């Protein structure tokens, strides 16, 4: 299951030394509900290799501002604590898989 991230724990996760994928989403967002199951699948498939998390932008306002999140879903891909790629909007699982494989 994807890790539930908050403004309070995100820096610890990003700086964990592992690649990190974060889905910025909201309950009311239709495209977010399409991406959600894909993110859950990826969290299982890459367990132990990549940290996959989700952050609700309605409950956490600080972090989305820090990373300039203007549209959701936005998925950020981190390596060595830095954003190296992003995906804005819903897309196919293969796109996410390719971006994750590039982190490894």
- Give the domains, in start order, of the chain with CATH numbers: 3-103 (3.40.30.10)
Give the H/E segment covering residue 34. helix 30-45
Whole-prediction pTM: 0.95
Mean pLDDT of the chain: 96
| Interval 5-45: pLDDT, tens | 999 999 999 999 999 999 999 999 999 999 999 999 999 99
Tell me the pLDDT band of 1, cut-offs 50, 70 and 90: confident
- Is 29 in the active site? yes
pLDDT of residue 75: 98
Q: How many CA atoms lie within 13 A of 75 on its CB side?
A: 27
- Helix, strand or coil, per DSSP, at residue 94: helix
- Helix, strand or coil, per DSSP, at residue 51: strand
Catalytic residue among 20, 22, 29, 100: 29
Percent of the chain past pLDDT 90, that is, above it, reads 98
Spatial CA neighbour of 10 closest among 47, 65, 49, 48: 65
Catalytic residue among 2, 14, 22, 32: 32
């Amino acid at each position: 299951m994807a890790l539930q991230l908050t403004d309070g724990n995100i820096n610890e996760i990003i700086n964990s030394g592992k690649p990190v994928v974060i889905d910025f989403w909201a309950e009311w967002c239709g495209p977010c509900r399409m991406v959600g199951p894909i993110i859950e699948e990826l969290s299982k498939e890459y367990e132990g290799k990549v940290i996959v998390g989700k952050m609700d932008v309605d409950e956490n306002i600080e972090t989305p501002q820090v990373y300039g999140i203007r549209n959701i879903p936005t998925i950020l891909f981190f390596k060595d604590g830095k954003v190296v790629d992003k995906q804005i909007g819903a897309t196919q699982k293969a796109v996410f898989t390719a971006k994750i494989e590039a982190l490894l």
